Amino acid sequence: MPVKKAQGPFPDGSGMASQNAENMPPRDAAVKEGAPEACGPVDDVDPLDVLPEGEELPDAESLSAEEQKILDTQISFHIGLDTEENEDVQRYFHYYTHVQRGTMTGWLKRAQLYLPHIRERFLAEGLPEDLIYLPFAESGFNPFAQSHAGACGVWQFMPRTAINYGLTVDKWVDERRDPYKSTEAAIAYLKKLYGDFGDWSLALAAYNAGEGAIGRALKKTGTEDFFSLCEASEDLKKETKLYVPKFLALVKVARNLEKLGFEPLNMDKRSAAPVMLKVKPETDLLALSQSVGMDWKSFRELNPSFRKQEAPPGRSVKVAVPGHLVAKAQDFLKRPVTPRQTRYASYRVKPGDTWWGISQKYNVSVAVLQQVNDVSRTKALKVGQALRIPGQGPASDSVADARKWASKRANYLVREGDTLWSIAKQFKTDPASLSQANGIQRSSVLRVGQKLYVPDAGSADVKVAKASADAVRTKLVNYKVQPGDSLWGIAKRFGVTPSDLLAWNNLAKNGHIRPGDRLKVYR
């Protein structure tokens, strides 16, 4: 018997947590050491990427004759449901074609990026074609979608299930976010579920609730099909009982887009495949993206698996780069690896917070805050949103180590008028990274002629600046001390500091100068 009115989908149509955690294998049997329970660290997840909790599903208004005809069409595999009698299917159909039409339109735009590939792989593996629309019910085809229960990605895998099906999930990489790798895992998992239950309705229910929950419910009720199980079981969650009706409605919509007034999907349209390049452990991915002229958001969309702006230590990984940028990327990857120096703290947005207020509190510019958090300048803050604050985390290296590192790799000579902020801006980094990379305080006064290490050494911008700085360095004035001169007076005349003069001329702090002495002064 069909399921009658239950309660319904998420207000933006987002999916629900798949593979309920209670039905997974024991933790220590499946999860790699250090593997997280959620899609990403708190400061790596935009609140908009988190799937909201369910709400009441409104009643469907009367459907047109054309819509009713669409609802009555069969799909590519037997489901055992008369949609004409099932109010939940009709309500979901109305919900996505009318109430949440804008949401459905956005989903279709994202789906176009991945569906041609998914369809090709499902058909090659002998799976029913209409299963390719399952991500509509799960994530709206958002690779970064995360449920409150910890399911993640286009296919909404829980961590243990993902690892069991060959995906890497750790604090550095989460391949549930990779639409292509996770599709292979979904194919294997769906095949396994169908092999377990011999019925696609039950297999889909198990995809949502976990095979353990469905197996126990079938045994307890003595039923053999999904709809009888829903009527007989008091243990199955409402969302699982609604899952198949919701999926059916979405399949009907997806197969009849033009008739329903949506832009049709083009299954022959393929996005240009990026080139996969091998990167060494600890490679600075943010610097890599900047070296090829990509902002972090665009790079992250091509490489959704990475949970940090650097490659993991101890192992090489591959990154996707657009074909026309491969030469620039290869040039960057030939350089010695310079691990990122920036450390981050997490901050939860409170009522009344503003970008400017937070920037003042942590002495970080609004532009840097927004860049680090991958948001546009016009994006408003939301209470509870997690922000990454650069330069606020506990130190992992001593100041002495940082200074030693910087002295060996110095690639920039400070010029008159330079500040940490101006140098950071010039090389598209942030003052916190620059100060930490050199083991100096943010408030430090730079000296003309001082050597600094700017991360991403070797980029075109740094090479130009270094050549310019070297030229400046050769403009040395050999000043002859005159009667009545003092270090302070000479420094003021040349726009430098007395400490600069002491350093350039190897003078003791309390050293004296005499008329006729020659002093080196860099201008």
Known catalytic residues are: 138
452 - beta bridge partners? 412
Contact 260, 105 (CB under 8 A): no
Calpha distance 151→236 (Å, rounded): 19
Strand, helix or coil for residue 479: strand
Cα–Cα distance measured from residue 473 to residue 450, given in angstroms and rounded to the nearest whole number: 10
Decide: 445 and 416 in contact? Cβ < 8 Å.
no
- Name residue 86's amino acid: N
Contact 388, 43 (CB under 8 A): yes
- Distance in angstroms (rounded) separating the CA atoms of residues 111 and 118: 10
State the pairing for strand pair 386-390/344-348. Answer: antiparallel
**How far lies 319's CA from each of 35, 152, 278, 308, 501, in Å?**
21, 20, 6, 13, 48
Q: Are 203 and 193 in contact (CB under 8 A)?
A: yes
> Bridge partners of 389?
345
Name the amino acid, one letter, at 228: S
- The DSSP bridge partners found for residue 310 are 284
